[in-house]
Amino acid sequence: MEKILTLGEIMLRLTPPDYARIDQTRTFMANYGGAEANVAVSLAYFGHRCFFISKLPPTELGDSAIKHLRSHNVNTDYVARASSLMGIYFYESGFGGRPSKVIYNRKHSAFTRIDVSEFDFDKMFQDATWFHVSGITLSLGIRVRKVTYECLKYCRKYHVPVSFDFNYRSRLWDEETAREAYKETLPYVDYLFASYWDANTMMEIRPEKEDAPLEERRREVMRNLMKKYNIRAVFSTDRTVYSATENSLRASVITENSEYHSQDLRFQILDRIGAGDAFASGVIHSLLKNKEDLPHAVDFGLVTSVLKHTIAGDSSRLKEEDVYDYLASSGSKGVIR
């Protein structure tokens, strides 16, 4: 039976209602979320057996986060309980020409005090079928990175496929520290979620001709990155912003010998948070169910992301039939090269 593992921090999210600014409101809507927790929740709705690896304080806030995960059928057996603080972030929803804003309060959270001694890695990984983690997790300190690298070593030991989302956040760490952490992580990665900027700037993979068209540079840089780290496929999204409440997305995948680009989908936005995590979950679900049908994985992930923008909160609650219904109505106009 499959067993999907994700590692990351789940935080309390506080959002002013009705698109209000933080300095206007006296009331916040409370929710829970975090990149890898969002992926686990979304995959659970797609019918997968998901386990979340993390650390939370033994307080009412920690209990509430556990209840949130369990209410979405995510297993919390691998969540350690210790320390006193829980990560919090404030999300100010943008509207029209005013962009959204995020303020973090997570520096000394329980998750940043996670330790390898708190987990039985053989028990967690000996029967695992997939592992997902992101650069946000890597950014949260040396202790967190040590646990991440230990997870990756056990993935190698038990032949567990690994997906990794760059998810670089400049508010959380600097480029130099991130680059070194990425270099240590990428040799273990099978499926990568990354942008041209991630490969070109963060990983310093340069195209032969800097003045070549972007698609040519992207293709060359991604394939050189894949070759250097033995990565099977790189998935990407490109976003066009018309306003804070209207965007369009397209997605692509590049392998050693082929590439696929989806159609552009334009949509209205209720809540943008977690859209990248929804894309990752859609791709992972499709890869697990349809094996090496990479174009299908791109289209399924793209629609999952687009529809997540219409759902309040951090994580997708979509079922497989929701995505297929949208796919059928929109049609697929992607291009294989």
Of 326, 293, 290, 288, nearest to 307 (Cα)?
Answer: 326
Between 142-158 and 175-185, two packed helices, what is the crossing angle to 10 degrees?
20
The amino acid that residue 229 corresponds to is Y
- Domain locations along the chain: 4-336
For residue range 112-135, list pLDDT tens digits in order. Answer: 999 999 999 999 999 999 999 999
Judge contact between 319 and 45, C-beta under 8 A.
yes
Residue-wise pLDDT for 275-311, tens only, equals: 999 999 999 999 999 887 999 999 999 999 999 999 9
Regions of the chain where pLDDT drops below 50:
337
The H or E element that residue 100 is part of is none
Residue 125 CB burial class (10 angstroms; 0-12, 13-18, ≥19): buried
3-class secondary structure, 230? coil
For residue 25 the two structure tokens come to 């409101």
CATH number for domain 4-336, candidates 3.40.1190.20, 3.40.50.2300, 1.20.58.110, 3.20.20.450: 3.40.1190.20
pLDDT at 84: 85
pTM for this entry: 0.95
Distance of CA 275 to the CA centre of its chain: 8
How high is the pLDDT of residue 333? Answer: 61
